[in-house]
Structure 1
Amino acid sequence: MPDLPADLRHPAAHRPGHGDPEWSAMRRILVVRPDNVGDVLMTGPVFRALRAVAPHASLDLLASPGGTAAAALLPEVDDVVTASVSWQQLDLVPGADPDADLVEELTARDHDAAIVLTSFSQSPWPAAELARRAGIGVRVGTSKEFGGALLTHWVPAPPDEVHQVDRMLGLLAAVGVPSQGHTLHARVPLDTHVPAALDLARYAVVAPGASCPSRRWPAERFAAVVRGLADDGLTVAVTGTEREAELVAAVAGDVGLPVTGLELGDLAAVLADAEVVVANNSGGVHLADAVGAPVVELFAGTETVDQYRPRSTRAEVLTRPVSCSPCRQLVCPFDQECLEIGPDEVLAASRRLRRVGVA
């Protein structure tokens, strides 16, 4: 059998004759990332790069209801379009056009370009079709599979294991937008409300929640970490959403400070001054990464570590290799062997990372 050529990308991808868009001449650019808080925070380097090449353009973000709050922490984002897009929903009404109102709104906004950001397992083509219907002339995305001319600039997909930030910056570089660095960043609002018990205190933050059960390290092990950090002389804030109040209270026990229902900007302020943050693979880790807090991450096998690991701060990622990873399951069908990590290991990592030595 003859040797195959090194470049096996589809001949329609990055077609000759389709030059780079004229970014500096654009009035309005839409970045599409309708995912969760952590995914939006990882777009920070994308917006920084776009601002450098299009200093006068309005940079808008199409975000999910859950991801919208994170946009307020990205200083380069000018406006947000919040929508529950059809390709992120599990149930749709037959015969309905679930994106009709969104198409109408985007048409009125009159964007010059849409940049569709995806993970390795997502397709850009539904968003590209949405942008085409809205009359957006330049449509940029990356994909392995063929989708016709829905993308005007179809960039071949990088290897699956590439970090999400590098994946997004590589997409921009392919269409003439050079990187301004891959470090995450977040703007901590000036008018934040931080629990009074943390004022002037040396404290750690423990965040035991996650978006699904398969990503959650057991609560009793988190509770043991809280006790160990308290024994080190730290105030330990245990954070979570209002829906996680029962979990937060159980983990805090008699020694931790339960803190639930913080606005994302308030949580950013709390994390920014923490000596160390201990959390599952969740938006809290990416927020800690963006504000420079040292972080110990308990990483379940639902995803691949190298795609999401924190790189903007001092961090240790704790996990166990398993044959079923990445499973992307909401509930583990086994015994979470990927999170067979003891509290002593987590405490040791926390002590290595802390800004101030153990008391």
Structure 2
Amino acid sequence: MLGPALREIKRALPESRITLLASPSGSQAAPLLPWVDEVLIERALWQELDAPAEPLPAEEHRLVARLATGRFDAAFIFTSFSQSPHPPAYAAYLAGIGVRVGQSKEFGGGVLTKWVRKLPDETHQADANLHLIEELGFPVLKRDLEVSVDERVRAEMDLMLSANGISPGEPFIAMAPGATCQARRYDINRFAEVARRLARLTGLRLVVLGGPGEVPLARRILDAVPLASAVSLTGVGGVPGLAAVLKRASLLLANDSGPMHLAEAVGCPMVILFSGTELESQWQPRSTPARLMRRETPCAPCYGFRCPRDMNCLDFSPTEVIEEALAMLQRARVHLTGE
């Protein structure tokens, strides 16, 4: 979601050097962002869900020293609707960074040199990020998500697909059953049933995708379909490899997760099981064909990590999901050879 803002900064200031301060997980997307010149990977305290068992001030002093070493002219602090820019802005202040820009609803003293008032919470995250630089006078010529996949990565993933019997130009369905938390995941048994029936109805191969921690979910899908109908590339190629595979896929079937955003950036049509944890307006694909499936529930948006209500927001039968997937494939004019 940060890519459009970085792209427009680089377009306006082509000689500038952009350093991305990112978490270990967030840094995995950096190779896809050609506007980034350097990445600083930090597990910052303000991004942790829980407070440490005891204070570790030496870690924060080390971060400030690292920022000071960079001799940065400015710190642009991009946050989601629920995050505060003030902790990182204070670190930047201590590091001697003279220009510190962030969006907030709350007063934060003098830690920000430019306090940008936030847009409403329902604003799309890409637009919220662009709003920050627009308030600084940067022109925005394009708002769509965009990534750049290295040719070497693309070639490696093409070889991997070929080794698994998927030839260049052959249509296939990508499936990503994982998500960052339980409250965003469609029931894996239903997901596996969708996979089994889609393979039979379409005649297309299935490619299961995800991070290393999602291998068990991929195995559940592979166990449900005939051996020749599906392959797992889960945990292979990292985020750049995932983007390369999605660029070739005819359809993505996934939860509200990273693959959804990558699919939008590379133009892969998708059907998304979008749980009630978030507002669709904040994260939904806008420039790529997508069908978001969610049952209306009084608890949405809950912003929770675990659901105590049987995931009513994703109570869709496999048949309903399959119908949406077939409609999207038909819309994309994909040739089907199944039953």
TM-score normalised by the chain length of structure 1: 0.86
List per-residue Cα deviations over 1:25-71 (Å, max 9, x = no partner). Answer: xxxxxxxxxxxxxxxxx111011110122110101111000011101
Q: Paired residue for 1:155, among 112, 116, 129?
A: 116
Q: Secondary structure at the match of 1:352?
A: helix
Q: Does 1:289 align with 2:267?
A: no
Name the SS of the counterpart of 1:84 in structure 2.
Answer: coil
Q: Does the 8 A contact of 1:48 with 1:180 survive in 2?
A: no
Out of 74, 77, 91, the position equivalent to 2:51 is 91
Match status 1:215 vs 2:189? no
Match of 2:67 in 1: 106
Alpha-carbon shift at residue 258 of structure 1 (Å)? 2.2
Q: State the partner residue of 1:305.
A: 280
Cα distance in 1, alignment partners of residues 21 and 85 from structure 2: 13
Q: Where in structure 1 are there 5+ consecutive unaligned residues?
A: 1-41
**1:1-359 to 2 correspondence within 5 Å?**
42-89=1-48, 90-92=50-52, 93-94=54-55, 96-192=57-153, 193-194=156-157, 195=160, 196-197=163-164, 198-200=166-168, 201-231=170-200, 232-253=202-223, 254-255=225-226, 256-262=230-236, 263-354=238-329, 355=332, 356-359=334-337
Within 2, Cα distance between the matches of 1:304 and 1:145? 22
Secondary structure at the residue paired with 1:317?
strand
Letter in 2 for 1:59: I
* Distance in 2 of aligned mates of 1:53 and 1:311: 24
8 Å CA contact 1:53, 1:177 repeated in 2:
yes
Partner of 1:165, secondary structure, is helix
3-state DSSP of counterpart to 2:324:
helix
Could you say which structure has the higher helix fraction?
2
Alpha-carbon distance between aligned partners in 1 of 2:59 and 2:47, rounded to the nearest angstrom:
11
Cα distance in 2, alignment partners of residues 180 and 162 from structure 1: 19
How far 1:95 sits from its partner (Å)? 5.7
Once residues 353 and 59 of structure 1 are traced to their aligned partners in structure 2, the CA distance between those partners, rounded to angstroms, is 38
What secondary structure, in the 3-state scheme, does the structure 2 residue paired with 1:211 have?
A: coil
Shift of 1:345: 2.1
In structure 2, distance between residues paired with 1:72 and 1:52: 18
CA RMSD of aligned residues (A): 1.3
Structure-2 separation of matches of 1:343 and 1:185? 32
| Alpha-carbon distance in 1 for matches of 2:136, 2:106 | 19
Q: Is the 8 A contact 1:45 1:180 kept in 2?
A: no
Other structure's SS at 1:246 match: helix
The residue type paired with residue 288 of structure 2 is T
* Corresponding letter in the other structure for 1:73: L
Q: In 1, distance between residues paired with 2:94 and 2:253? A: 44
Q: Distance in 2 between matches of 1:344 and 1:189?
A: 38
Q: Distance in 2 between matches of 1:183 and 1:127?
A: 27
Q: 2:183 is matched by which residue type in structure 1?
A: S
Count of residues in correspondence between the two structures: 318
Cα separation, partners in 2 of 1:95 and 1:185, compared to 1, 3 Å: closer
Structure 2 distance, partners of 1:251, 1:95, is: 43
Which stretches of structure 1, 4 residues or longer, exceed 3 Å deviation after superposition?
A: none
Within 2, Cα distance between the matches of 1:311 and 1:260?
26
Q: Is the 8 A contact 1:351 1:358 kept in 2?
A: no
Residue in structure 2 matched with residue 11 of structure 1 by the alignment: none
Percent pairwise identity: 42
Q: What code does the residue aligned with 1:120 have?
A: F
Paired letter, 2:3: G
Q: Deviations over 1:108-132 (max 9, x none)?
A: 1111111111111111100110111
